């Protein structure tokens, strides 16, 4: 039985004992705050004592008795304090949990094979992929891996915004660089890459239409800057979707007509407006097509989801959005929900990330052409470190990326601290093999340190399911740091290869399972682990 199943069984026994007539969703079965209180705890007796008009400890004793009778692999069930019930699991339970660690560990049927489209990065193709895009890219990739582990069929997608106002401003900036348009203060984009674009397309800028130039320039940016950066991040998108296609294949017009049929759009001053107030927006109306015929950000986004839900058959889509787009999501969501009320449409938002060096922010300005690209960051610290550090804070919090710490290859660096635990476990196995020792077919009795490590490992299946539902993938780094701390202490206290052969090989079984577990952990992060570290 898995630890998560054990928690479920405790809840079921308590619910059965309490009987009908109560809201049985009010009590918790949680991990004990301190190992001295056991492994699991429930507050059920205190929650329902007043409803049942009984003293909490008296009710707790009854529930504890039911748990003792109904649970297997339990060392003890105790009542503590005003009526908490603490459950300590037996050695056999943890031995069984360890034996269940395979390459498929923490796989779940939560998703039931449901198709989910996860869209992330999706920056306008107006320049290189910057650190502003890195955070969303790593969050989206790890979330996709978690969803896959949780039993979903995941499609990773990059929405290539190659139409709209920003692309017009990009073209204008390139023309100014080439001397084909007067320089002015409204110039949106600068930098070396603009100069390179102006040089490469110097002939085309004089001979081709704006529509042709936009396609040439955005395609060049995609191939030269975006795709290499995405590959360097370790991301492999299943779909690259062009926004311009929505305008050309009729999806955009069909979507606006669907909104019109629901009396949600109207025309005024030559523009087309969406009645966002009728959809629950704080603003009563928003422009979706300007008077010059150009769509605003909202209209193509709504049409994009008409394609996702109406034409491609997804019933679940997740958008990983940065701070510039979080505020826009409710309006888009409301319109999409109006068109597709049976579909699930959710956002995983994230805040800004700053690069800090020597205690000071590294100033960047895309407008002035001063920015740190994803590739530059990865060249300095490596893809694994960049990913791990990006997940060291909750996505809804602003974060500082400490460049000094990231380049330090020591246990002070959180990534290396966790990787050292993995490498040390592998070094134990390698040294043991050199001495003719091999892991036993099964483990012996676990000591206290080994039980503590297995307890931490056993939380991963539940964590995977939680992250698949709340998108809090940053918890993987904290989970790994806690597990690494436990293993580092174990490594320092036990010299396995110096033990008698039978005992040593039983310990090697434990270490082997730990390595297998860590392989699963690193695969969730999308990091290729290092078996050896200098």
Model confidence pLDDT, tens digit, residues 225-258: 999 999 999 999 999 999 888 888 899 999 999 9
Q: Are 479 and 520 in contact (CB under 8 A)?
A: no
- Identify the pLDDT of residue 486: 98
CA-closest candidate to residue 84, choices 46, 48, 58: 46
Encoding tokens for residue 106? 């923490």
Q: Which residues, including other chains, have CB under 8 Å from residue 107's CB and lie 6 or more apart?
A: 149, 150, 151
Model confidence pLDDT, tens digit, residues 277-286: 888 878 889 8
Task: Please state, in angstroms and rounded to a whole number, the distance separating the CA atoms of residues 150 and 133.
Answer: 26
Q: Which residues, including other chains, have CB under 8 Å from residue 376's CB and lie 6 or more apart?
A: none
Model confidence pLDDT, tens digit, residues 32-85: 888 888 999 999 999 999 999 999 999 999 999 999 999 999 999 999 999 999
φ/ψ (deg, to 5) at 310: -85, -30
Task: Please state, in angstroms and rounded to a whole number, the distance separating the CA atoms of residues 156 and 469.
Answer: 17
Q: Where in the chain is the domain with CATH 3.30.1360.70?
A: 3-89
- Residue 453 CB neighbours (<10 A): 24
DSSP 496: G
Task: Please state, in angstroms and rounded to a whole number, the distance separating the CA atoms of residues 171 and 224.
Answer: 17
Percent of the chain predicted with pLDDT > 70:
98
Domain spanning 3-89, CATH class? alpha beta
Q: Where in the chain is the domain with CATH 1.10.730.10?
A: 414-525
Q: Where in the chain is the domain with CATH 3.40.50.620?
A: 120-248+351-406
Check if CATH label 1.10.730.10 holds for domain 414-525. Answer: yes
- Residue 400 CB neighbours (<10 A): 15
- Identify the pLDDT of residue 161: 85
- Identify the pLDDT of residue 493: 94
Check if CATH label 1.10.8.60 holds for domain 120-248+351-406. Answer: no
Q: Which residues, including other chains, have CB under 8 Å from residue 269's CB and lie 6 or more apart?
A: 291
Task: Please state, in angstroms and rounded to a whole number, the distance separating the CA atoms of residues 335 and 276.
Answer: 8
φ/ψ (deg, to 5) at 34: -140, 135
- Identify the pLDDT of residue 261: 94
- Residue 510 CB neighbours (<10 A): 24
Which ranges in 156-272 belong to alpha helices (H)?
A: 165-177, 192-200, 204-207, 210-221, 227-232, 243-248, 251-261
Estimate the crossing angle of helix 251-261 against helix 329-339, to 10 degrees.
80
Task: Please state, in angstroms and rounded to a whole number, the distance separating the CA atoms of residues 418 and 329.
Answer: 36
User: Average pLDDT of each block of 10 consecutive residues along the chain (534 residues)?
Assistant: 87 92 87 88 94 95 96 94 95 94 96 97 89 93 98 97 85 94 84 94 95 94 95 96 88 93 94 90 87 86 95 96 88 92 96 92 63 89 97 96 95 97 97 96 92 96 97 98 98 93 96 98 97 83
Q: Which residues, including other chains, have CB under 8 Å from residue 197's CB and lie 6 or more apart?
A: 174, 177, 217, 220, 221
Let me know how many helices (H) and strands (E) the chain has, helices first: 23, 15
Q: What is the mean pLDDT of the chain?
A: 93
- Sort strands 271-274 and 286-289 into parallel, antiparallel or unpaired: antiparallel
Task: Please state, in angstroms and rounded to a whole number, the distance separating the CA atoms of residues 360 and 403.
Answer: 10
Model confidence pLDDT, tens digit, residues 390-410: 999 999 999 999 999 999 999
């Amino acid at each position: 039985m898995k630890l998560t199943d054990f928690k479920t069984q405790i809840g079921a026994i308590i619910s059965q004992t309490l009987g009908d007539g109560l809201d049985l969703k009010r009590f918790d079965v949680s991990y004990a705050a301190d190992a001295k209180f056991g492994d699991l705890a429930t507050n059920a007796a205190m929650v329902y004592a007043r409803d049942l008009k009984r003293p909490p400890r008296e009710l707790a004793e009854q529930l504890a008795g039911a748990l003792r009778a109904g649970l297997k692999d339990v060392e003890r069930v105790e009542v503590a304090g005003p009526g908490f019930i603490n459950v300590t699991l037996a050695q056999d339970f943890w031995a069984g949990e360890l034996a269940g660690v395979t390459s498929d560990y923490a796989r779940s049927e939560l998703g039931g094979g449901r198709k989910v489209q996860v869209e992330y990065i999706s920056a306008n193709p107006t320049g290189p992929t910057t650190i502003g895009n890195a955070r969303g890219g790593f969050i989206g990739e790890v979330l996709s891996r978690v969803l896959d582990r949780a039993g979903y069929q995941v499609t990773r997608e990059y929405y290539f915004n190659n139409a709209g106002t920003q692309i017009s401003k990009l073209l204008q900036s390139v023309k100014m660089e080439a001397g084909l348009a007067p320089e002015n203060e409204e110039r949106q984009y600068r930098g070396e890459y603009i100069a390179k674009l102006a040089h490469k397309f110097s002939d085309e800028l004089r001979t081709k239409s704006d529509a042709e130039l936009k396609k040439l320039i955005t395609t060049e940016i995609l191939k030269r800057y975006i795709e290499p950066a995405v590959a360097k991040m370790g991301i492999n998108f299943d779909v690259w979707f062009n926004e311009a296609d929505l305008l050309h294949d009729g999806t955009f017009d069909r979507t606006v007509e669907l909104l019109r049929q629901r009396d949600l759009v109207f025309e005024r001053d030559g523009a087309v407006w969406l009645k966002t107030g009728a959809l629950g927006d704080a603003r009563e109306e928003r422009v979706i097509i300007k008077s010059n015929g150009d769509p605003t950000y909202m209209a193509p986004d709504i049409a994009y989801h008409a394609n996702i839900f109406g034409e491609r058959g997804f019933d679940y889509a997740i958008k990983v959005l940065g701070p510039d787009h979080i505020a826009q999501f409710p309006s888009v969501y409301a319109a999409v929900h109006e068109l597709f009320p049976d579909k699930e449409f959710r956002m995983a938002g994230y805040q800004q990330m700053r690069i800090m060096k020597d205690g000071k922010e590294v100033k960047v300005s895309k407008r002035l052409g001063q920015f740190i690209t994803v590739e530059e960051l990865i060249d300095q610290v490596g893809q694994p470190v960049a990913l791990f550090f990006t997940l060291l804070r909750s996505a809804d919090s602003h974060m500082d990326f400490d460049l000094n710490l990231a380049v330090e290859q020591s246990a002070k660096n959180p990534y290396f601290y966790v990787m050292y635990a993995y490498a040390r476990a592998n070094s134990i196995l390698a040294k043991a093999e050199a001495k003719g020792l091999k892991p036993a077919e099964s483990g012996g009795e676990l000591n206290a340190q080994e039980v503590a490590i297995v307890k931490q490992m056993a939380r991963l299946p539940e964590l995977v399911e939680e992250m698949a539902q709340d998108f809090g993938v940053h918890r993987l780094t904290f989970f790994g740091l806690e597990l690494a701390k436990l293993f580092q202490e174990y490594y320092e206290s036990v010299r396995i290869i110096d033990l008698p052969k039978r005992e040593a090989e039983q310990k090697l079984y434990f270490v082997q399972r730990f390595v297998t577990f860590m392989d699963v952990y690193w695969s969730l992060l999308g990091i290729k682990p290092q078996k050896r570290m200098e």
